Structure 1
Amino acid sequence: MIETQFIPKPYSKNLESGQFTWSSPSNIALVKYWGKKEHQIPENPSVSFTLDYCKTTTTVKFSKKETKENFSFEIFLDGEKKEDFKPKIETFFKRIETYLPLLKAYHFKIETSNSFPHSSGIASSASGMSALALCLLSIEKRLLEDISEEQFNQKASFLARLGSGSACRSIEGDLVVWGNHDDIEGSSNLFGIKYPYDVHQNFKNYQDTILLVDKGEKQVSSSVGHNLMHGHPFAQQRFEQAHQNMSRLMTIFKSGDLESFIKIVESEALTLHAMMMTSMPYFILMKPNTLEVINKIWNFRHKTDSKVCFTLDAGANVHVLYPENEKENVLEFIKNELVDYCQNGHYITDQIGFGAKMIS
């Protein structure tokens, strides 16, 4: 599939004003996407669990305006006007205008809120950009003849990717693949797809408790981090490793082998941080408490034969992953041994979700 397939036919209907509301979840990558080419194309494939509780709810109110010269919008987070968000939305609109030509025809009031702390290290750009893309595409759907649910989800993922790469993995669930992979039919660099093969019962309703080790702004933005992969001495080996780990996970998802799952997921998390530590300039995004938590998880797993493990995004917070049948024991472990390493004792209990939802 090529990008031009997302350019719509001339709109056949008229719409003066209205509003749409969507909630869209964050996601946590198991195989990490790190490094991108032009136009938000990933250097390697990734696969993620879609989350459930951690989500962004966005309402877009729109009204037709007289001229179509410029974009016109205002944006609010939790009821507070956010001028500092406008440059990112402006960039997003410029990227998607070819595929969503309605953008200059309307004034938009964008109202958004998160179920989790902003800049807490949870991927708010993924949930936020996917929710916004869904609202905007819902307007286009009213202007066109019918489009199928599959076409709608595919284009929503395509548009979301142009706002934030990982946002393309938040449209559906529970496992989503983004990036071309020879072994995964239908996989694409342009949008995410639901993982198309058998998944063992072990991975159903998987749990993710997010330990908020550090709720501050990230030391380095994801965009800067991705760009550091250009010319990185280990970049090509990393991209090859991601392809290999995707193939290994396919076997693991089918067999339910939790021991092998743990090895790949934790290795991927540490590799992501190793790439940051060996870039130029270099960054250490983990905090001392991040390492304390990791060691506690390893010790608990060794003592109890638990199948709990961790993963990390490009920050200090720890995602504690575990099967549903261990929920009671792992939450007790978190309360007794890990909560002291969280900022103000804060953590979020979440689990696998099944994608974005339109709110009437």
Structure 2
Amino acid sequence: MFVANDFIPSPYSHIVEKGSFQWSSPSNIALVKYWGKKNNQIPANPSVSFTLNNCKTITTLAFAKKENQETFSFDLLFEGKPKEDFKPKIQQFFERIIVYLPFLKKYHFTIDTKNTFPHSSGIASSASGMAALAMNLMSLEKELNPEMTDDYFHQKASFLARLGSGSACRSVKGKIVVWGNHKNIEGSSDLFGVEFPNTIHEHFNNFQDTILLVDKGEKKVSSSVGHDLMIDHPFAERRFTQAHENLDKLISVFENGNLEEFIKIVESEALTLHSMMMTSIPYFILMKPNTLEIINAIWKFRNEKKIPLCFTLDAGANVHILYPKNVSAEVLQFIKNELVGYCQNGHYICDEIGIGSQLIMDN
């Protein structure tokens, strides 16, 4: 059983003066939703997600030793341009993880990051962004401690990413990732995400996720505010129990490939997430009229065509349509014929299950 102190390193065996790394980390889409947290980014319930492939953050971390080692020192660029409003979140992240990465004040960092998808549009850019930064920082720690094992590297990267953005811990590895203690999933932890360890039916090997961009603007409710809504929520405890129950059901579904049951669980989870926001104080409605139009069209299409597609939602208006690859032609035609008109500027993103974070450059 891991505890946080297991990630506090012994004195480093090597010295590194300067260098750079570049990692890509994907977004992820939760099937069982994480909503509500305890202190230190500990989830109130377990969650499970598909790791995506195309929606990702690419981050370059350059570093050089500096003389003044009393404070953090970093420049932050977004798509090559200074991004001052991102800096407080990185500062807070460094303050949270300094005990686990004691080298942070010894270097000046230049963090240059970009997304392959619209920022702050409900496609979990904080998850992919924090995961990519954590992977880069762990690459530096591995240079300082080359004896580090790959398992430890990925576990600690996920642990650190979680301290930046909870769901970021699910963006380190793929294809299906569990975060949060669950009695029937071996190795599951509140501290980091783990690859789903059980049998996965071939139906889920190449699952597709087409994201309909109903609203590409800033999220109306930040994740932090959203999670705080669960404190003293009248239905919180039942919701946390429900998440455990639905994760149990998905263990069987992932093994037997029952897509009908998969659809029921995933859509129920999406609607439950939004119902928790609609019944909190203060309360929020994050779906837009076009979100509801899309959901009703999906239900009608599935009922008429008997094609196994379903929707899920994050804490926003955009709709993720999930379906097996072997029905892609029919689903994409349906999207073009009936759904694209509900998307902002007709925009949607075709994605699929991916394999997690990837090292691009080691210099």
Question: TM-score category by the smaller chain?
Answer: over 0.9
Which amino acid is 1:131 matched to? A
Aligned to 2:217: 216
Q: Does structure 1 residue 291 correspond to structure 2 residue 287?
A: no
Return the alpha-carbon distance in structure 1 between the equivalents of residues 47 and 302 of structure 2: 26
Paired position in structure 2 for 1:343: 344
Q: With structure 1 as the length reference, what TM-score do the two structures score?
A: 0.99
Residue 234 of structure 2 aligns with an amino acid whose one-letter code is: P
* Counterpart check, 1:54 vs 2:55: yes
Give 1:5's aligned amino acid: D
State the Cα deviation string for residues 42-66 of structure 1 (Å, max 9, x = none).
0000000000000000000001010
Instruction: Map 1:19-168 to 2 at 5 A.
Output: 19-168=20-169
After the TM superposition, which parts of structure 1 deviate over 4 Å for at least 4 consecutive aligned residues? none
SS at match of 1:359: strand
Letter in 2 for 1:101: P
Report the Cα offset of residue 121 of structure 1.
1.3
- 1:184-208 deviation per Cα after TM superposition (whole angstroms, max 9, x unaligned): 0100000000000001111111000
Listed one character per residue, the Cα deviations across residues 68-100 of structure 1 (whole Å, up to 9, x for unaligned) are: 111000111111110000000001000100000
Matches within 5 A, 1:198-237: 198-237=199-238
1:307 is matched with which residue? 308
What is the aligned partner in structure 1 of residue 275 from structure 2?
274
Hey, what's the Cα distance between the residues in 2 that align with 1:64 and 1:171? 27
Separation in 1, partners of 2:244, 2:106: 42
Q: Which amino acid aligns with 2:300?
A: N
**Paired letter, 1:19:** S
- In 2: Cα distance, 1:125 partner to 1:262 partner: 27
Distance (whole Å) between structure 1 residues aligned to residue 301 and residue 30 of structure 2: 23
Partner of 2:246: 245
Secondary structure of residue in 1 paired with 2:282: coil
* Other-structure match for 2:13: 12
Q: Which amino acid aligns with 2:59?
A: T
Provide the rounded CA distance (Å) in 2 between the counterparts of 1:335 and 1:149: 43
Q: Does 1:173 align with 2:179?
A: no
User: How far apart are residue 260 of structure 1 and its match?
Assistant: 0.3
Amino acid at match of 2:69: K
- Secondary structure in structure 1 of the residue aligned to 2:286: coil
Deviation string 1:116-140 (CA, Å, 9 cap, x unpaired) is 0111210000000000000011101
Unmatched runs of 5 consecutive residues or more in structure 1: none
Task: State the one-letter code of the partner of 1:35.
Answer: G
Distance in structure 1 (CA, Å) of the matches to 2:155 and 2:206? 24
Equivalent-residue separation in structure 2 for 1:204 and 1:145 (angstroms): 34
Q: Distance in 2 between matches of 1:173 and 1:356?
A: 8
SS at match of 2:331: helix
Within 1, Cα distance between the matches of 2:317 and 2:12? Answer: 46
Calculate the aligned-residue CA RMSD, in Å. 0.5
| 3-state DSSP of counterpart to 2:221 | coil
Q: CA offsets, 1:298-340, max 9 Å, x none?
A: 0000000010000000000000000110000000000000000
SS in 2 for 1:162: helix
Q: Distance in 2 between matches of 1:333 and 1:145?
A: 51
| Residue 145 of structure 1, CA deviation | 3.5
Aligned to 2:355: 354
Q: How many equivalent pairs are there?
A: 360
Question: Whole-Å Cα distance in 2 between the matches of residues 145 and 337 of structure 1?
Answer: 54
Deviates more, 1:144-153 or 1:339-348: 144-153
How many Å separate the matches in 2 of 1:199 and 1:119?
32
| Structure 2 spans left out of the alignment, 5+ residues | none
CA distance, structure 1, for counterparts of residue 116 and residue 234 of structure 2 = 39
Task: State the secondary structure of the residue aligned to 1:101.
Answer: coil
Match of 2:258 in 1: 257
